[in-house]
Chains A and B, each alone.
Chain A
């Protein structure tokens, strides 16, 4: 999953979202060790201080933890990861609903369209 950064929002906030996404999708597995700040900054082509700031926030949120000697790790607490996953899902759904409303659909219509779509995907 490449790093995608948009031009009109703070880079720091976008880095947080993308790392959350990488953790939720298992690219950074629970309990695994994260690359160093420098390597992550290089991978995302961003300023190392900005990356450091994003990681510090994720640590504060409990999604990452660091040990003094061996680096920074993803939490092993499934509950924390599940909560983040839920938060990300809700954001996606809110975004989707907003766009559907802009297109002029009512809740009922959205729901039935979604059901039909899901049926089709199943087949």
Chain B
């Protein structure tokens, strides 16, 4: 089985608004996929459904053959859009917490990345800046040896140098057995790292192609195509 995630006719309504409207998508292992779309296009809703934080109104998602639940949480590493870590904890305490929680968590990897990004493991989270907290959270997520990484805006709040390091981490961490799905607005920064692009527009997947197919067919970057498709 090479497919890690499959969704069929996935729909989520909030009252009368359809956040997702019949999305069909198959994601293979070994791919790095960019989930792109303007604000309110359904990116976060999609990622939340995949994590079992929301339930679909109709249709379904299967991850490694399972609906989101206990089985999938073991193999999915999720970076939420919000910071959920306890402010009173030290970075080192959170690392121990994650180690207890996830079998596939590697503290060595986490400490190594902290060092590279100059973050003191003994500092308490409340003393860290917003951007540094985001880095810590991403380090925790990337220190797992998961089969699917779901990253909701992983590079939005960090400086360009850290952004490069994070992309570097995604490349280094690459593994044929795992897939990465990430949502972002910073397309130009990230498109070289992506295999596949999914454009979400008003809850529908309107385009699903590889980066090089897009550049080949349209003669422009994904970033330029996005600006054209979603021109306000």
Q: Which residues of A contact B (CB under 8 A)?
A: 5, 7-13, 38, 41-42, 44-50
Apart from A8-B224, A47-B194, what are 18 other A-B pairs with CB-CB below 8 Å? A5-B192, A7-B188, A7-B220, A7-B223, A7-B224, A10-B212, A10-B215, A10-B216, A11-B192, A11-B215, A12-B212, A42-B172, A45-B167, A46-B192, A46-B193, A48-B174, A49-B195, A50-B212
Most buried by B among A8, A10, A47, A48: A47
B135 at the A interface (CB under 8 A): no
Partner of A45, one of B174, B193, B221, B223: B193
Distance of A48 Cα from B220 Cα, bound (Å): 21
Bound together, the chains give a CA A8 to CA B30 distance in angstroms of 25
Taking the complex as formed, is B120 at the interface, i.e. its CB lies under 8 A from any CB of chain A? no
- C-alpha gap A9/B218 in the complex (Å): 9
Q: How far is the CB of B170 from chain A (nearest CB, A)?
A: 9
Q: How far is the CA of A44 from the CA of B167 in the complex (A)?
A: 11
Residues of the B chain whose Cβ atoms lie less than 8 Å from the Cβ of A12 = 212
Evaluate whether A50 and B195 lie within 8 angstroms (CB atoms) in the complex, with A8-B224, A42-B171 already known: yes
Chain B: CB-nearest residue to A13: B212
| Chain B binding surface, main DSSP class | helix
Shortest distance in angstroms between B182's beta carbon and chain A's nearest beta carbon? 12
B103 touches A (CB below 8 Å): no
State in angstroms the CA–CA spacing of A27 and B193 once bound together: 24
In the complex, how many angstroms separate the beta carbon of B167 from the nearest chain A beta carbon?
A: 6
Let me know if B220 and A8 touch, CB within 8 A: yes
18 contacts between A and B (CB under 8 A): A7-B220, A7-B221, A7-B223, A8-B221, A10-B212, A10-B215, A11-B211, A12-B212, A38-B171, A38-B174, A41-B174, A45-B167, A45-B192, A47-B192, A47-B194, A47-B195, A49-B30, A50-B211
**Which 9 pairs, one residue from A and one from B, show the smallest C-beta to C-beta distance?**
A7-B221, A10-B212, A10-B215, A48-B174, A46-B192, A10-B216, A12-B212, A42-B171, A8-B220
B164 at the interface (CB under 8 A from A): yes
Which chain B positions have C-beta within 8 A of A41?
Answer: 171, 174
List, in ascending order, chain A residues with CB within 8 A of B172's CB: 38, 42
Contacts of B193 in A (CB 8 A): 45-47
Cα A25 to Cα B208 with chains together (Å):
38
Least Cβ–Cβ distance between B90 and chain A, in angstroms: 31
Q: A9 to nearest B CB, angstroms?
A: 6
CB distance from A101 to the nearest CB of B (A): 22
B112 on interface, CB distance cutoff 8 Å: no
Chain B positions within 8 Å of A46 at CB level? 171, 192-193
Q: How far is the CB of B171 from chain A (nearest CB, A)?
A: 5
Name the distance in Å between B142's Cβ and chain A's nearest Cβ: 15
Task: Give the Cβ gap from B220 to chain A, nearest Cβ, in Å.
Answer: 5
B160 contacts chain A at the CB level, 8 A cutoff: no
The answer to whether the Cβ of B168 comes within 8 Å of any Cβ in the partner chain is yes
Q: Which single residue of chain A is at the shortest CB-CB distance from B174?
A: A48
User: Which residues from chain A contact B168 at a C-beta distance below 8 Å?
Assistant: 42, 45
Given contacts A7-B223, A8-B221, A50-B195, whether A45 and B171 have CB atoms under 8 Å apart is yes
Interface presence of B125 (CB below 8 A):
no
Chain A residues with CB below 8 A from B40, complex form: none
